[in-house]
Amino acid sequence: MYYPFSWVKSLFRIAVFLAAFTLIGLLIDRMLLAYALGLTALLIINYFQLYKLNRWLWHSRKMSPPTVNGLWEHIYEGIYYLQRRNRNKRKELGALVKRFREGSEALPDAAVVVDEDARIVWCNRLARIEMGLRWPQDAGRRLDNLIRHPEFIDYFHKGRFDHPIEVPSPSNPQKTFEYRVMPYGEEHLLLIARDVTRVSQLEEMRKDFVANVSHELRTPLTVITGYLELLPRDEQDSFATKAMDEMFSQTARMQNLIEDLLILSRIEASAERIFEKQVDMYAMLQQIEAEAKTLNKDKNHKIRFEMDPELKVFGVETELRSACSNLIFNAIHYTPAPGKIVVKWEEDERGARFSVKDNGDGIEERHLARLTERFYRVDKARSRKTGGSGLGLSIVKHVLNHHNSHLEIESKLNKGSVFSFHLNQQLIAERSSA
Ligand code: ADP
């Protein structure tokens, strides 16, 4: 307890002490000697108390202070009070840490805390079981020495943790883990690993199923189309002619759909490295220009290609061809004749930019976010007429994803649209000196 007027009491004690020595001085008629003795006694008493305090602080096991009087009693009590307060705080903190540990042990995911140098500070029980971490032997070891998968190391060192990553488990390659990293405290990172083996197996099965079904459907359709082409036509029979035409266009649509499904499956499964081969986009776009001209025969749009012939990039040519042709053919399909279409391939401050601008139908804002979903169409009847499979923009999205890019869409209803994408500076190949 703090006594605000304890100093008055202490002053009083000293005054009484000095008065006693004054009295002794008067009695023996040696004032100076009496005062010197008094002050020496005072000094000795205080030194003795300091000695006791030192012993209590450093050598005594007892928490409670020894019994003393006067000013020293308050000093002891003050220290004792601070000690008790610290002990309570430590207890509270200890309970908090215990609760946190219990909570994180109960997590259904493996959790690892690493410091700014990627050294492991702490991990929960599931991390030890699932990721094969040994505790406490692995404390202080670098996380990238334990999870050595190149994709994980790349993800971890890039430091862009806005999306999770899926890689095989370090202890069991049959299992797939989804790793998610979050900044934790000021300098720590929290890694959460979740077993997604079943989900990724199902995803693989789905991809395989779509690829196999598409492949299997291809042969019977080719046979049907072949016979349809060979069958003799009776121009007199209007019903038979109409039926034949309809069968022709429907099989063509199905073939289109299957080709697109196969392209999508191939891109999804593609493990081709984008940094390995150069793509001469100028030459490739010239070929697409020739195809676009054929497609444009009935429509008569004005199509202009503005291209930088020297701008080459690293990537997968077949994929980029699919993406660019889909965007160009869409512009031709969804622009009422005679429209204006401008295709550009140029370099700007964000990298290499491909864009297709049209003055066609345009798209309402509410559709934009869902446009790259499979089979999503703004106007179903209209798209069917154009013969589209509903997979075009989905293919574009996957191709761009593979090239670390994304589709940008600006559109105004009845005014037109701009579909564009950027390929990163690092994907631009060195220009050949003229
Ligand atoms: P589809 O095979 O139906 O064309 P896509 O995935 O290529 O499928 O396109 C999805 C939808 O986006 C289309 O159905 C169409 O409504 C819309 N769309 C695509 N490109 C354009 C464009 N240039 N102008 C207007 N609408 C477009």
Give distance in angstroms: CA of 248 to centre of ligand 1: 23
Average pLDDT, the chain: 89
Fold designation for 272-434: Heat Shock Protein 90 (3.30.565)
Fold designation for 200-269: Helix Hairpins (1.10.287)
The yes/no answer on whether domain 107-195 falls in CATH 3.30.450.20 is yes
Say what the pLDDT of residue 15 is: 87
Condensed to tens digits (0 to 9), the pLDDT of residues 288-342 reads 999 999 999 988 999 999 999 999 999 999 999 999 999 999 999 999 988 999 9
Q: Is the CB of 325 under 6 A from ligand 1?
A: no
Atom of ligand 1 nearest to the CA of 358: 23
Which residue of 299, 329, 334 sits with most ligand 1 atoms within 8 Å of its CB, as the best mutation to test the pocket? Answer: 334
Say what the pLDDT of residue 325 is: 96
Condensed to tens digits (0 to 9), the pLDDT of residues 146-166 reads 888 888 898 888 888 888 999
Q: How many CB atoms lie within 10 A of CB 314?
A: 18
Q: Is the CB of 351 under 6 A from ligand 1?
A: no
Residue nearest to ligand 1 atom 20, measured at CA:
330
Structure tokens at 433: 């000196």
Q: Is the CB of 70 under 6 A from ligand 1?
A: no
Give distance in angstroms: CA of 412 to centre of ligand 1: 14
Residue nearest to ligand 1 atom 19, measured at CA:
330
Q: How many residues does the chain have?
A: 434
Domain ranges of the chain: 6-99, 107-195, 200-269, 272-434
Q: Is the CB of 322 under 6 A from ligand 1?
A: no
pTM strictly above 0.75 = no
Alpha carbon 332 to chain centroid distance? Answer: 37
Q: Which of 84, 76, 85 is nearest to 57 (CA)?
A: 76
Condensed to tens digits (0 to 9), the pLDDT of residues 166-214 reads 988 888 888 899 999 998 888 899 999 999 999 889 988 998 999 999 9
